[in-house]
Structure 1
Amino acid sequence: MKKNKPKYHQIIDAAVIAIAENGYHQAQVSKIARQAGVADGTIYLYFKNKEDILISLFQEKVGMFAVKMRESIQIKAKAAEQLRMLVENHFTMLTEDPHLAVVTQLELRQSNKELRLKINEVLKEYFLLIDQILQDGIDNGEFRSNLNIRLARQMIFGTLDEMITTWVMNDQKYDLTASAPDVVEMLLNGFSAEKRR
């Protein structure tokens, strides 16, 4: 299987850097090949075109993150702890790979509608994970029984997405992961002086 071959991952990692540094539209396949240290033709042994590379890198990086998160949150009994772990790991993943942060927050937004729909397919697994955390919280009495899961998920993902975009736009000058506890606190308690159930 192509995904198990070292060159596949080499090209994916090179594409993240090439797209982050040049922009998606300026990151020709030849630039990605040069960054990967392979011949242009080698790219086409693994990918149909540049769009396929972008979708594959998103599946590989974000898709695998969702799978790993699902495994790691299962050891946390409380939904609040699961949410804390999700937020911290989401921030950590992108702060440890600034090029990936640029690609996910800026370059993917400039892609065409068809490409964005394919990317949303990858995000579905991540959204299901957030939904599971919220449902667990409702089931064990941590979150209110009438919580609108879809709206709560949009708030969680929207908050994380906006914070990472702002961090990228500010040239990654501050510690994003350090803000995770405050983000979780606000998501769990809202902005009121009293904790609401």
Structure 2
Amino acid sequence: MKKDKPKYKQIIDAAVVVIAENGYHSSQVSKIAKKAGVADGTIYLYFKNKEDILISLFQDKMGQFIERIEQETTSRQTAEEKLLTLVETHFEQLAADHHLAIVTQLELRQSNKELRSKINQVLKRYLAVIDQILEEGIKEKLFRDDLNRKLVRQLIFGMMDEAVTNWVMKDQRYHIGDQAKEVHSFIINGLTLHKS
């Protein structure tokens, strides 16, 4: 498998920096190779073309990102704690790698239909984590049971995603993690069973 090859991670990490700094369209394979410290031809032992690098980068980085979110949320007890952990971990991971934040929030948005479809495949696993939290919150009688779960999970993801995009667009001048509790509180208030 290509992921096991020694230079795969080197190329992926270099691609994140090059694409973030130059934009996807101006990021030639030769620039990525130079940053990774490999010959141009070496890239083609791992990837078909530049688009394949972008897809692999997203699958690899987002795979690790989702894995961490799964681990962190599983270790929490209630749906409310899990939701806060989800928001905090989402923000923390992107705050820790500003190049990756630029790539995920800006560069991947300009992609073609085929690429978007591959991105959506990866995100399904993330949406499943949100689904599980919603399910638990309903069982705990914390969340309303009349929720349109498909819509709610998109709104939760969309809210976090938009908060991060706004942070990237403002040149990351503030710490995105500081907004986690506010975002969490907003989501919880929208989902909670209000006692009459």
| 2:50 maps to 1:50 | yes
The alignment yields a C-alpha RMSD, in angstroms, of 1.6
Q: Match of 2:31, as an amino acid?
A: K
| 2:81 maps to 1:81 | yes
Residue identity over aligned pairs, in percent, reads 61
Q: Following superposition of structure 1 onto structure 2, how do residues 1-197 of structure 1 map, counting pairs within 5 Å? A: 1-190=1-190, 196=194
Residue by residue over 1:121-172, the C-alpha shift from the partner in whole angstroms, topping out at 9 and shown as x without a partner, is 1111111111111111112212111122111111111111111111011000
In structure 1, the gaps of 5 or more residues are none
Residue by residue over 1:17-66, the C-alpha shift from the partner in whole angstroms, topping out at 9 and shown as x without a partner, is 01011111110110100111110011111111111111111111112211
Give, in angstroms, the shift of residue 6 of structure 1: 3.2
Q: TM-score with structure 2 length normalisation?
A: 0.95
Q: Match of 1:196, as an amino acid?
A: H
C-alpha separation between the residues in 1 aligned to 2:24 and 2:185?
36
Give, in angstroms, the shift of residue 72 of structure 1: 2.3
C-alpha separation between the residues in 2 aligned to 1:195 and 1:154?
20
